[in-house]
Amino acid sequence: MEHLIQHFRKDEQPFIEQVVSWQREVEDRYAPKLTDFLDPRQRFIVASIIGQDDAIKTMSAGLFHEAERQRMLIFPSYFEPQMENYQLTVFTIHYPAKFIQLRHPDVLGALLSLGLNRAKFGDIRVNEQQVQFVVADEVADYVRLHLTGIGKVKVYVESIKETESLIQNEDEWVEESYTVSSMRLDVIMASVLNVSRQRAQALITGKKVRVNWTEREAVAFELQEGDILSVRGSGRLKILMTEGRTKKDKIRLQIGRLAQKS
């Protein structure tokens, strides 16, 4: 366990402890445990900690194809997870789509303003005609009852069957190679976004940058393979892999870049 913890960041310790307690609970009760919605980094941590064991397994689901946020089941090997074990409800929002375009932040803001914990809902998908989002079953009735407006727009929500047409994600990652002097957050951002170090630092200290879904304000924060950066206004970047060093001791990086959707 100690050996595992070294691979994670200090501020991830509380989550690691949480995962270890889930693991114990499943071992003690010999029954499955369902988590709230976890982002990919959290699921990676769960799989790293529990993935060593034949007696206990993990699986996750978020309904949408390639859902970013998913609930995880941690279960003894005898158990065979079914879709209903994940306790997910998908809603579609009815609103005057002819006259108004709802955006992802509008929907996220409205859900949070209901007093809901972010861990209780999954992905929000938006296209020209439709808005869909996933919530944990235990808050579904509350959402159905209370989500009656988004901004100034009156809306009503209706649950739909998973088998109906869910909005597909059209994300496209483009791979690019970079050579950087260090793995510092400001250095990599300056290089990939093609801005000055000062500009990169201003974005970081201005709370515009998240690494693995956590806001980071330290310009010297060290990035690692697998990290996902989101920079407000510039989409997402993923550190795919480090490919060793050049003769001048610079680091070669493969970076994935998510084309920014308007």
* Predicted confidence (pLDDT) per residue in 58-101, tens digit: 999 999 988 999 999 999 989 999 999 999 999 999 998 888 88
Mean per-residue pLDDT for 6-24? 88
Alpha carbon distance 92, 227 (integer Å): 31
Mean per-residue pLDDT for 221-232? 90
Mean per-residue pLDDT for 194-206? 94
* Mean pLDDT lowest among 38-42, 43-47, 171-175: 171-175
Amino acid at 28: D
What share of the chain in percent tops pLDDT 90? 61
Q: What is the pLDDT of residue 96?
A: 87
Closest C-alpha to 155, from 108, 110, 114:
110
pTM of the model: 0.81
CB–CB of 212/199 below 8 Å?
no
Alpha carbon distance 23, 172 (integer Å): 35
User: Within 13 Å and on the Cβ side, how many CA atoms surround 93?
Assistant: 34
3-state secondary structure of 11: helix
Q: Where are the beta strands (DSSP E) in 85-172?
A: 88-94, 121-126, 131-136, 149-150, 153-154, 156-160
Q: What is the pLDDT of residue 155?
A: 92
Closest C-alpha to 64, from 111, 131, 115:
131
Mean per-residue pLDDT for 145-162? 89
In this predicted structure, the answer to whether residue 259 has a pLDDT above a threshold of 70 is: no
Mean per-residue pLDDT for 120-125? 94
Alpha carbon distance 56, 76 (integer Å): 5
In this predicted structure, the answer to whether residue 182 has a pLDDT above a threshold of 80 is: yes
Q: What is the pLDDT of residue 16?
A: 92
Closest C-alpha to 30, from 65, 74, 70:
74
3-state secondary structure of 226: coil
CB–CB of 162/83 below 8 Å?
yes
In this predicted structure, the answer to whether residue 228 has a pLDDT above a threshold of 50 is: yes
Confidence of residue 163 (pLDDT cuts 50, 70, 90): low
Q: What is the pLDDT of residue 196?
A: 94
Alpha carbon distance 171, 168 (integer Å): 9
Q: What is the pLDDT of residue 170?
A: 66
In this predicted structure, the answer to whether residue 190 has a pLDDT above a threshold of 70 is: yes
In this predicted structure, the answer to whether residue 35 has a pLDDT above a threshold of 90 is: yes
Q: What is the pLDDT of residue 123?
A: 94
Confidence of residue 262 (pLDDT cuts 50, 70, 90): very low
